[in-house]
């Protein structure tokens, strides 16, 4: 389910966050689906349970998951994930990357093609 790059400069808990977010966005993990327990995932990935707990806490803070005490962690409903602040943040990131791409010589059509490809990927997963 989750593969980590132990040689990466990206901290392990951040890799876990990104992988789980990716699985949620691609709808591999469905709304209200239970995530593996901290203990189970730490055993599967052979890493410290505190690292998993840190990743889960951050995912909950960002609105991607929620916790039911004594039951575990679950994928949050989509409406909780999408909020104006996060959308604004994503738009700013995209704008920065587009500016960088233009500086490096990318053409407008290349960005349009990338957008079309992303939409097709998203629609193809439904």
Q: Which pLDDT score, from 0 to 100, does residue 82 have?
A: 63
- Cα 9 from Cα 46, distance rounded (Å): 18
- Note whether residue 2 is domain-resident: no
With 0.85 as the threshold, say if the pTM is over it: no
Q: For residue 107, with 0-12 CB atoms within 10 Å meaning exposed, 13-18 middle and 19 or more buried, which class applies?
A: exposed
pLDDT, mean over the chain: 90
Domain extent, residue 114, equals: 83-124
pLDDT at 61: 92
pLDDT tops 80 at residue 107:
yes
Interaxial angle between packed helices 49-62 and 12-25, expressed in degrees from 0 to 180 and rounded to the nearest 10: 50
Does 3 map to a domain?
Answer: no
Q: Which residue has the tokens 């990131």?
A: 93
Phi, then psi, of 73 in degrees rounded to 5: -110, 140
> What number is the average pLDDT over the span 10-25?
93
pLDDT digits (tens, 9 = 90+) for 57-88: 999 998 899 999 999 999 998 765 666 777 88
pLDDT of 47-65, one tens digit each?
Answer: 999 999 999 999 999 889 9
pLDDT at 16 over 60: yes
Mark whether 23 and 53 lie in a shared domain.
yes
Structural domain includes residue 6: no
Closest by alpha carbon to 97, among 87, 111, 83, 84?
Answer: 111
Whether 26 and 39 map to the same domain: the answer is yes
Please indicate, yes or no, whether residues 20 and 41 belong to a single structural domain of this protein: yes
């Amino acid at each position: 389910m989750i593969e980590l790059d132990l040689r990466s400069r990206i901290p392990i808990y951040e890799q876990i966050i990104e992988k789980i977010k990716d699985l949620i966005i691609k709808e591999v993990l469905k709304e209200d689906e239970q995530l593996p327990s901290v203990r189970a995932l730490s055993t599967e990935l052979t890493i410290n349970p505190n690292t998993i707990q840190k990743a889960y806490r951050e995912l909950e803070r960002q609105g991607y998951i929620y916790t039911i005490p004594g039951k575990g962690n679950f994928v949050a409903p989509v409406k909780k994930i999408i909020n104006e602040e996060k959308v604004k943040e994503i738009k700013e990131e995209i704008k920065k990357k587009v500016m960088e791409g233009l500086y490096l010589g990318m053409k407008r059509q290349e960005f349009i093609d990338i957008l079309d490809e992303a939409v097709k990927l998203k629609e193809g997963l439904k």
